[in-house]
Amino acid sequence: MHVAMVIGGGLVLLGVFVLFGWLWGASAAGMALAAKVFVPAWLAVALVNMWVGVSHAGYSVRQEAPILVLVFLVPALLAGALAWQLSRS
């Protein structure tokens, strides 16, 4: 359940980034840039989530690595697809 909540939080954060990209740029290019900027920010959040799982929840890095990949990739792939779609228009 925690993984789904973190992924959901990532999707909400992507929406916030794209919203601010639209507010600042008022164009598809601004929203595409915001989606691209989201990816490294989300990587940092996913790494912090992994660190919490290892240091506080007692999981090993080996156990947390697949969760890191899943938690990072779902919102990052959506951000990439969104940036690609917005840059085409």
User: Which tens digits make up the pLDDT trace of 39-55?
Assistant: 999 999 999 999 999 99
**Is it the case that residue 25 has pLDDT exceeding 80?**
no
pLDDT band at residue 16, thresholds of 50, 70 and 90? very high
Q: Residue 46 and residue 89: Cα distance in Å, rounded?
A: 30
Question: How confident is the model at residue 69, as a pLDDT?
Answer: 97
Over residues 53-78, the mean pLDDT reads: 94
Read off the amino acid at residue 78. Answer: L
**Is it the case that residue 35 has pLDDT exceeding 90?**
yes
CA distance readout (Å), 45 to 13, 49, 56, 71, 82: 11, 6, 16, 10, 20
